[in-house]
């Protein structure tokens, strides 16, 4: 990184952390030259870079001023509180979209995974090599559920560091969170049962509901605050709900995070109706700010919350290691796993246990969170600059998604196909609901580095949206 980029990054961090607020004037070029010891040209280039990324605006003869903070957008139409569906038919659509976009040459703005270059490949390789050297017939043997004891202990220690008492015996290691979530759903339901999901929801939930022949009530979910609890109460009154599947932090696709009070109210409501919660917390470590938020599981005294986590989004996508802290259902989940996939890859579990024992993870997470937040700001500002004003951008802190809304007569699936032809993927809103209510929305992955490729992709998307708007 050159000196002017370093200075720009430093100033970005100061703006993000509130040292400089919207409307503040940054120190003059001369003052910064004096304080930093850098040349006038270096400082000028840094300020220009900040301006091109939308952090500051220059006013002739006055200096550089911080641009107003990100504003929460509102949905163009009020959400329907409840969206019931007796059947879900989404697998074919999801498969087609994911397969068509599965091309490493594409700019992967539709991907659910963060930029893999943000992962500590070198340290993970070292753990893999160390484990490979120590492999013996004893530890390459299949490790039956609940999985490798060292890894379960490390995960329990991470809960303990947040003040949560989760016994390693309650934890079942799975093949990614997806297996944890699917097994949890299977443990709690029979075909034909009703399940609450968010609206919009992670498509994996809808796929699981389709696969297990379940019925679903999607409950309105606010892009900032999360699930509408009045609507949830109504769903619990009207339908014989067996389970609720949701994300209390960094919801996919919205990015929404619930407040502590909201989480406690949610748990009280579910407890009152005897309904278990499947808490999908795969982005829980990717919060913004300095305070670690607790999942709903933290207040669960009865074992009715099945808390599903993963290393796929924070450390090692391809290892496919996740877990569920399954409370009352720990035994049932082990039995279901034994009948389906038997166990999770032993060498991968051992390598992760080795990596976690070296205590690099928290440092890595700290850097990852900061980088993701910075990249999200940069993309957000570029999108606000390039996209037509009628496009609403829902910005929520944490993780690495932006949820965008076109005018309601535009179809984001059409935009998906056009963008794909131009070598760019997006995640169309149709993926996140059983019905058509989000056909005009799409999710962007903004974890990618901001460079000429991503900048060109955002400009190209803006042109495609302009083209689509001209047709409606
Ligand atoms: C919200 C959500 N839950 C679960 C998963 C699955 O996680 P894993 O890759 O650990 O199976 C994903 C992956 O995209 C996700 O976005």
Question: What are the DSSP calls for 343-354, one per residue?
Answer: ---HHHHHHHHH
282 pocket-lining for ligand 1 (C-beta < 6 Å): yes
Average pLDDT of the chain, as a whole number: 92
Q: Tell how far the Cα of 215 is from the centroid of ligand 1, in angstroms.
A: 21
Pinpoint the alpha helices (H) of 78-226: 91-100, 121-134, 137-140, 149-161, 176-188, 203-211
248 pocket-lining for ligand 1 (C-beta < 6 Å): no
User: How far apart, in whole angstroms, are the C-alpha atoms of residue 448 and residue 465?
Assistant: 21
Nearest-CA neighbor of 457 among 409, 423, 428, 433?
A: 423
- For residues 180-205, average pLDDT: 98
Q: Which of 111, 173, 178, 200 to mutate to test the pocket of ligand 1 (most atoms within 8 A of CB)?
A: 178
pLDDT over threshold 80, residue 286: yes
Q: Among 6-15, 270-279, 459-468, whose mean pLDDT is lowest?
A: 6-15
Q: Which of 97, 110, 177, 250 to mutate to test the pocket of ligand 1 (most atoms within 8 A of CB)?
A: 177
- For residues 67-90, average pLDDT: 81
Give the residue, 102 or 251, on which the prediction is more confident. 251
Ligand 1, atom 6: nearest CA belongs to which residue?
178
- Nearest atom (ligand 1) to Cα of 181: 4
280 pocket-lining for ligand 1 (C-beta < 6 Å): yes
Q: Which of 113, 252, 257, 344 to mutate to test the pocket of ligand 1 (most atoms within 8 A of CB)?
A: 252
Q: Tell how far the Cα of 322 is from the centroid of ligand 1, in angstroms.
A: 9
pLDDT tens for each residue of 205-220: 999 999 999 999 999 9
User: How far apart, in whole angstroms, are the C-alpha atoms of residue 354 and residue 156?
Assistant: 15
322 pocket-lining for ligand 1 (C-beta < 6 Å): yes
pLDDT tens for each residue of 28-59: 999 999 999 999 999 999 998 888 767 888 88
- For residues 86-91, average pLDDT: 94
- For residues 382-399, average pLDDT: 92
112 pocket-lining for ligand 1 (C-beta < 6 Å): yes
pLDDT over threshold 70, residue 69: no
What is the number of H-type helices and E-type strands within the chain? 16, 17
Give the residue, 289 or 431, on which the prediction is more confident. 431
114 pocket-lining for ligand 1 (C-beta < 6 Å): no
pLDDT over threshold 70, residue 399: yes
Q: Among 19-23, 82-86, 170-174, whose mean pLDDT is lowest?
A: 19-23
pLDDT over threshold 80, residue 73: no
Nearest-CA neighbor of 334 among 362, 306, 312?
A: 306
252 pocket-lining for ligand 1 (C-beta < 6 Å): yes
Ligand 1, atom 13: nearest CA belongs to which residue?
112
Find where tokens 């952090």 sit. Answer: 55
- For residues 447-465, average pLDDT: 97
pLDDT tens for each residue of 368-377: 998 998 899 8
User: How far apart, in whole angstroms, are the C-alpha atoms of residue 105 and residue 425?
Assistant: 10
Other residues' Cβ atoms within 10 Å of the Cβ of residue 55:
22
- For residues 181-194, average pLDDT: 98
At residue 71, the pLDDT reads 59
- Nearest atom (ligand 1) to Cα of 252: 1
pLDDT over threshold 70, residue 140: no
pLDDT tens for each residue of 289-338: 778 899 999 999 999 999 999 999 999 889 999 999 999 999 999 999 99
- For residues 122-140, average pLDDT: 85
Q: Tell how far the Cα of 5 is from the centroid of ligand 1, in angstroms.
A: 34
Nearest-CA neighbor of 270 among 182, 179, 188, 212?
A: 188
Most trustworthy range by pLDDT among 19-28, 306-315, 340-349, 358-367:
306-315
Give the residue, 343 or 242, on which the prediction is more confident. 242
Q: Tell how far the Cα of 319 is from the centroid of ligand 1, in angstroms.
A: 13
pLDDT over threshold 90, residue 381: no
Q: Which of 119, 180, 202 to mutate to test the pocket of ligand 1 (most atoms within 8 A of CB)?
A: 202
178 pocket-lining for ligand 1 (C-beta < 6 Å): yes
204 pocket-lining for ligand 1 (C-beta < 6 Å): yes
DSSP state of 25: B
Residue 194 is encoded by which pair of tokens? 């009703």
- Buried b or exposed e, range 380-389, using 16+ CB within 10 angstroms: bbbbbebbee
The percent of residues in the chain predicted with pLDDT above 70, rounded, is 97
Q: Tell how far the Cα of 201 is from the centroid of ligand 1, in angstroms.
A: 12
Q: How confident is residue 72, by pLDDT bands cut at 50, 70 and 90?
A: low
110 CB-near residues (< 8 Å, 6+ apart): 97, 101, 416, 425, 426, 427, 443, 444, 445
Nearest-CA neighbor of 343 among 133, 145, 91?
A: 145
Q: Among 69-73, 82-86, 234-238, whose mean pLDDT is lowest?
A: 69-73
* Domains of the chain, start order: 3-66 (1.10.10.10), 82-88+121-361 (3.40.640.10), 364-471 (3.90.1150.10)
Quote the longest CA-to-CA distance of the chain: 74
174 pocket-lining for ligand 1 (C-beta < 6 Å): no
Sign of CA dihedral 395, 319, 139, 365: negative
- Nearest atom (ligand 1) to Cα of 175: 11
Residue 256 is encoded by which pair of tokens? 């929404």
User: How far apart, in whole angstroms, are the C-alpha atoms of residue 4 and residue 33?
Assistant: 12
């Amino acid at each position: 990184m050159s000196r002017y980029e370093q200075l720009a990054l430093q100033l970005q961090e100061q703006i993000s952390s509130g040292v400089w607020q919207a409307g503040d004037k940054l120190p003059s070029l001369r003052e910064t030259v004096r304080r930093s010891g850098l040349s006038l040209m270096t400082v000028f280039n840094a300020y220009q870079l900040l301006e091109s990324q939308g952090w500051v605006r220059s006013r002739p003869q006055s200096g550089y001023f911080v641009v107003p903070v990100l504003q929460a957008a509102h949905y163009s139409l009020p959400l329907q509180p409840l969206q019931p569906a007796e059947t879900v038919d989404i697998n074919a659509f999801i498969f087609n979209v994911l397969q068509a976009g599965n091309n490493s040459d594409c700019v992967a703005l539709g991907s659910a995974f963060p930029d893999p270059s943000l992962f500590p490949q070198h340290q993970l390789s070292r753990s893999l090599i160390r484990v490979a050297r120590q492999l013996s017939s004893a530890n390459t043997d299949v490790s039956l559920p609940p999985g490798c004891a060292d890894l379960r202990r490390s995960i329990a220690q991470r809960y303990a560091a947040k003040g949560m008492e989760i016994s390693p015996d309650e934890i079942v290691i799975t093949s990614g969170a997806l297996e944890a979530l699917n097994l949890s759903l299977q443990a709690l339901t029979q075909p034909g049962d009703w399940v609450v999901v968010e609206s919009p929801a992670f498509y994996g939930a809808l796929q699981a509901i389709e696969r297990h022949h379940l019925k679903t009530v999607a409950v309105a979910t606010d892009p900032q605050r999360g699930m509408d609890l009045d609507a949830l109460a109504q769903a619990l009154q009207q339908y014989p709900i067996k389970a609720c599947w949701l994300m209390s932090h960094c919801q996919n696709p919205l990015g929404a995070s619930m407040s502590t009070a909201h989480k406690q109210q949610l748990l009280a409501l579910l407890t009152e109706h005897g309904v278990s919660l499947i808490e999908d917390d795969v982005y829980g470590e990717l919060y913004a700010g300095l305070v670690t938020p607790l999942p709903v599981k933290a207040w669960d005294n009865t074992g009715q919350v099945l808390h599903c986590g993963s290393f796929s989004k924070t450390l090692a996508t391809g290892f496919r290691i996740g877990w569920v802290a399954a409370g009352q259902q720990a035994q049932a989940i082990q039995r279901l796993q034994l009948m389906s996939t038997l166990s999770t890859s032993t060498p991968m579990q051992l390598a992760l246990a080795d990596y976690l024992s070296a205590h690099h993870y928290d440092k890595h997470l700290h850097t990852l969170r900061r980088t993701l937040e910075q990249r999200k700001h940069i993309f957000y500002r570029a999108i606000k600059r390039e996209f037509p004003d009628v496009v609403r951008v829902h910005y929520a802190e944490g993780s690495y998604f932006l949820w965008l809304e076109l005018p309601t007569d535009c179809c984001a699936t059409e935009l998906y196909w056009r963008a794909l032809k131009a070598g760019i993927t997006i995640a169309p809103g149709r993926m996140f609901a059983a019905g058509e209510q989000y056909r005009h929305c799409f999710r962007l992955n903004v974890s990618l580095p901001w460079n000429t490729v991503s900048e060109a992709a955002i400009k190209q998307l803006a042109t495609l949206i302009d083209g689509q708007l001209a047709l409606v």
